[in-house]
Structure 1
Amino acid sequence: MKIDFSKYEDGLVPAIIQDASTKNVLMLGFMNAEAYEKTLSTNKVTFYSRSKQRLWTKGEETKNYLILDSIKSDCDNDSLLIQVQPQGPTCHKGTDTCWGERNRPNFGFLSTLEEIIEDRWNNKETADSYVASLFRKGINKVAQKVGEEAVEVVIESKDDNDHLFLNESADLLFHIMVLLQAKGFHLRDVENTLIARHK
Structure 2
Amino acid sequence: MTEAIRFDANGLVPVVIQDATTNEVLTLAYMNAASYQLTCETGEVWLWSRSRQSLWHKGATSGHTQRVVDMRLDCDSDALVVRVEPRGPACHTGATSCFFQSILPGSATMDQTDKAPPIPAAQVSEGSPSIAPPEVKLVPHSALELGILLDELYALIRERQAKRPEGAYTTYLFTAGLDKILKKVGEEAAETIIAAKNEPRMELAAEMADLLYHLLVLMVARDVTPHDVAEILRSRAGKRRPLPTE
Contact 1:120 1:127 in 2 (8 A): no
Partner AA of 1:158 in structure 2: K
Could you tell me how far 1:68 is from its partner in structure 2?
3.4
For the pair 1:20 / 2:90, whether they are aligned, the reply is no
TM-score, normalising length: structure 1: 0.52
2:196 maps to what in 1? 157
For the pair 1:109 / 2:157, whether they are aligned, the reply is no
Supply the distance in 2 between the matched residues of 1:157 and 1:190 (Cα, whole angstroms).
24
Aligned mate of 1:69, from 106, 113, 117: 117
1:195 maps to what in 2? 234
For these two proteins, the number of residue pairs brought into alignment is 126
Cα deviation per residue 1:14-73 (whole Å; 9 max; x = unaligned)? xx973236x9x953355256555761xxxx31xxxxxxxxxxxxxxxxxxxxx73139xx
Q: 1:171 to 1:26 in 2, by over 3 A?
A: farther
TM-score, normalising length: structure 2: 0.43
2:44 maps to what in 1? none
For the pair 1:123 / 2:171, whether they are aligned, the reply is no
Partner AA of 1:27 in structure 2: C
Cα deviation per residue 1:75-132 (whole Å; 9 max; x = unaligned)? xxxxxx7x9xxxxxxxxxxxxxxxxxxxxxx9222222111111101113x4431001
Gaps of 5+ in 1: 1-15, 46-66, 72-80, 84-105
Contact 1:143 1:179 in 2 (8 A): yes
Partner AA of 2:224 in structure 1: F
Could you tell me how far 1:163 is from its partner in structure 2?
2.7
Structure number with greater Rg is 1
Supply the distance in 2 between the matched residues of 1:37 and 1:155 (Cα, whole angstroms).
55
Gaps of 5+ in 2: 1-27, 29-89, 120-130, 134-145, 239-246
Supply the distance in 2 between the matched residues of 1:29 and 1:69 (Cα, whole angstroms).
11
Contact 1:19 1:26 in 2 (8 A): no
1:70 partner SS: coil
Mapping for residues 13-52 of structure 1, pairs under 5 Å: 18-20=91-93, 27-28=98-99, 30-31=101-102, 39=112, 44-45=113-114
CA-based RMSD of the aligned residues comes to 3.5
Supply the distance in 1 between the matched residues of 2:118 and 2:107 (Cα, whole angstroms).
17
